[in-house]
Amino acid sequence: MLCVVSNRSLCKGPLLPQLEAACRGGADYLLIREKDLPPAERLALCRRAMQFCGRYGTRLVVNGDISCAMQIGAYGVQLPYAAFMQMKREQLPAGLAAGVSVHSPEEAARAAAHGADSLLAGHVFATACKAGLAPRGLPFIKQACEKAGGVPVWAIGGITAANGASVLGSGAAVVCVMSSVMQAGDAEGAVRALRDALSCR
């Protein structure tokens, strides 16, 4: 499965049309990750995104903002590892999926045991978004999946149509892409190409 992660600073044009095109292309999930937006602007963005997510059958996940996710009826919320581990799973609303960002197999095991519904692991390959930081590679994804106890692992970082199948082959349930879709002149086509590549593994 495929998740498109938003980043308006990478878009050559307005963000919302880019996101809608990605959903039209077949993104299974859309993760709104505009961390620096004021809460009111983030809420407005997510409300508009929910409209076309519903149209195309894409599940919307909000990064870090539980209140926003609840207000718009999002599929889930993506939380930092430390924040998730400091709360009780019961504090999150029933029906709101809890994704947790992890950076080691040990964090994957602990977050899974604490009640995470999915684990976002990365970065897998070298990416400009993590310039100067060494990628963790496919063995990291395989180890995270082994430690996750059946909780789905979402992989992120430098994933493209050329290497995405290898990520799924390492055990990831979902591959997440940002730059390759946010910077694309044809986001719909970029997502379709990614889906085609992933289906050929």
CATH classification at residue 68: 3.20.20.70
Average pLDDT, the chain: 94
Give the model's confidence band at 132: pLDDT under 50 very low, under 70 low, under 90 confident, else very high.
low
Number of structural domains (the chain) is 1
Predicted confidence (pLDDT) per residue in 18-74, tens digit: 999 999 999 999 999 999 999 999 999 999 999 999 999 999 999 999 999 999 999
35 lies in which domain range?
2-198
Torsion of CA 72, 77, 83, 89, to 10 degrees: 90
For 8-17, the CB contacts below 8 A with 24+ separation are 8/34, 8/182, 10/178, 10/179, 10/182, 10/183, 11/182, 11/183, 12/183, 12/185, 15/45, 16/45, 16/48, 16/49
Give the model's confidence band at 134: pLDDT under 50 very low, under 70 low, under 90 confident, else very high.
confident
Give the model's confidence band at 201: pLDDT under 50 very low, under 70 low, under 90 confident, else very high.
very low
Per-residue pLDDT at 26: 97
